[in-house]
Chains A and B, each alone.
Chain A
Amino acid sequence: MQQGTDTAEEPVDEYVSDYEVGQDNVQALGLDFHNPVFLISGVTVILFVVFTLSFPEQAKHWFGDLRPWLTTNFDWFFMAAGNFFVLFCVALIVLPVGKVKIGGPDAEPMYSYVSWVSMLFAAGIGIGIMFYAVLEPMNHLLTPPLGMEGLSEEGRRELAMAATVFHWAIHPWAIYGIVGLALAFFAYNKGLPLIVRSAMYPLFGERVWGWPGHIIDVLAVFATLFGLATSLGYGAEQSAGGLAFLFGISEGHVIKLTIITVITIMALISVLRGLDGGIKVLSETNMAMAAVLGLFVLLVGPTLATLGAIVDNTIAYFRYLPALSNWVGREDMYYMHDWTTFYWSWWIAFSPFVGMFIARISTGRTVREFLLVSILAPSFIFIVWMTVFGYGAMDQYLLDGYEGVVDTVREFRPELSLFLFLEEYPLAKVTSAIGILLVLIFFVTSMDSGALVVDTMTAGGKIDAPIAQRVFWCVFLGLIGIALMEGGGLSSLQALALATGFPFGIVILMMTVSLYKGLAAEVKLLEARDEAAPGETT
């Protein structure tokens, strides 16, 4: 990339900085972290945990109102931003900037597509598909969005699936894609540290290494920790609920604490084994296991109807997409606020984490390839997965009159939806156990990759900082989980994840401008170099 040629007309690269990775780092006690990002994030999170534990009532009161306030008042922002991010990705794929290769013209991919997609899932979203695949379609069947209660049964089924797929396909992956691409491009092509602030370099210039950058990075750390803890909260609830359901043990604090402790220990082992020996192996195992479970449900359920429904749902998704993504004149506020804007803000809060993780494993792909694969592959898997589980669950209810899953929606026991669904099929004990195991392993990979990402963020972009720091963040994530489980602060945490989603949404909007400037300049640079020394770059 930065190989110089001896030609006189060597073009100027305007987005190269003299800043050196780790120059603002503090080395003490064998650790190596960024000042002040590490201290501000560490202290604030500790204060938050202490506060919610000491004053649970006040915390519930303050943070409890935050979520509806945000999703109600800023619905237009989240909806508009979400749509814009999708259109922006389409533009990058189509425009000439799509041919820029991450890591430079000579870079080679480090991971195969299968490992890559597996790791994408394992980085936090996996827990979501286990939690929502049965629950969400059923919920939208009972309470149809867009005020379409009058539809036929078949129409309601299609709408419910389209409304579910809307939240899990394309939109979230466009958000992650932008953040991941911006991080990867400015680190691997421009040599800037692998931290969120680097993606703002074209906008802020050298000031990005000062306070504007500190604020952006601290915000990214908060969003990651809170967003991840939200996901881990679902994982703990579902695995505890599942174990209680499967073995008839009481679903108390002790079992949840035990789960988090065991998970943390497993995550620590995975952390010590590193990216390739830990996360990669676990992610691939989990993808294989999820595929087996999905295939089993497909075969014992209404197989042919489900396969047909995959196509129908995809068509229905695109048919309802304009209506679902429009926020003007909507009357279905329950769907739009409690689901869509909640998801959008959660995805945005989650984006520095997933983005950073995708960036780490994405060298050697072109912008076009990166966006197409990281948006379409997970979207397709989601459509298939949600259809197999959601369509099957609706079949149980509408055709067989089975009320098990519906009751979990009505009684608000979402953590049990999956298990009551599986109970209607053969080998329910085995499939439920696999379901729990999947949640637990996704839990481990989420914590491990979370520790990896937060460590890089707080170590000024160093990816070879001492492993001890990842151990610290991993233990810390476990402790946040335990503290909140005990203090009942999960909803406060979710509210905070959303609260970081709003400012971070603004950061991503700025990032799109910055990224486009960077990519456009890169295309010019490559063309100029090509002219100056034909054959040197392709």
Chain B
Amino acid sequence: MAGRLYRHIGVPVDLAHRDKLGKAIATAVDLAGIYGARITLVSVTGPAPGEAAHNPQEYRRHLQDWAAEITAESGIQVDTETEVIGDPAADLDKSLDHQFHALGVDLVVMASHVPGFREYVFHSNAGFLASHTDLSVFVVRGTR
């Protein structure tokens, strides 16, 4: 299996925007099938209650449940990783990049939301990560 291009695909996910991530997950699952790779859903959350969960433990559980669903549907091995940081709004990209490296991810498949008002002032997360990381990044546009 020395010729396998990718062994470990990382997919950054935000549980609050689960509805917009379907296409990226489907892409990652297809690629994982082609390359015989495994997937890790990588996430960042803060200590305070948010839209997706009341606390980080609950957030981790929801993410694990989702990963189990994907595995059940596709037969691909899907793990999860959640980092709890003090300021998720500001340090999201940094935390994701750090987690990908710690996990040994060799391909990132990520959804990019439709560029809107904010992108004229600030970068989109996908755009930032793609231009600042040394990993291969597959940016998936649209939500299918």
Contact = CB atoms under 8 A, between A and B. Distances in A.
Could you say which of B45, B86, B87 has the most chain A C-beta atoms within 10 Å of its C-beta? B87
B54 A464 contact: no
Interface residues of B, number: 26
Q: Top 5 nearest A-B pairs by Cβ distance?
A: A274-B90, A191-B54, A275-B87, A30-B118, A30-B117
A271 B87 CA distance: 11
A127 interface: no
A3 B45 CA distance: 18
A471 B46 CA distance: 20
Contact of B86 (A271, A360, A461): A360
Interface in A430-457: none
B142 interface: no
Interface size class of A (residues with CB under 8 A): 35 or more
Interface in B10-65: 45-51, 54-55, 57-58
B16 to A, nearest CB: 8
A142 B24 CA distance: 72
Contact of B47 (A110, A272, A465): A110
Given A188-B47, A188-B55, A463-B46, A468 B90 contact: no
Given A103-B55, A363-B47, 15 more contacts: A30-B119, A188-B47, A191-B58, A193-B49, A194-B48, A274-B87, A274-B90, A276-B85, A276-B87, A277-B91, A360-B48, A461-B48, A463-B89, A464-B88, A464-B89
Interface of B: 45-51, 54-55, 57-58, 84-92, 116-119, 121-122
A462 B52 CA distance: 11
A467 interface: yes
Contacts, number: 96
Contacts of B118: 30, 466, 468
A472 B28 CA distance: 37
Given A274-B91, A276-B91, A464 B86 contact: no
A241 B57 CA distance: 51
A22 interface: yes
Nearest to B51: A22
A478 B118 CA distance: 22
Nearest to B121: A468
A277 B91 CA distance: 8
A191 B55 contact: yes
Given A187-B49, A188-B47, A462-B51, A275 B90 contact: yes
A361 interface: yes
A253 interface: no
Given A272-B90, A275-B86, A463-B89, A188 B48 contact: yes
A1 B60 CA distance: 13
Given A276-B91, A361-B86, A2 B54 contact: yes
Contacts of B47: 103, 107, 110, 188, 360, 363
B47 to A, nearest CB: 5
B88 A1 contact: no
16 contacts: A2-B54, A2-B58, A21-B51, A22-B50, A104-B55, A106-B57, A107-B47, A191-B58, A360-B47, A360-B48, A462-B50, A464-B46, A466-B89, A466-B118, A467-B90, A468-B118
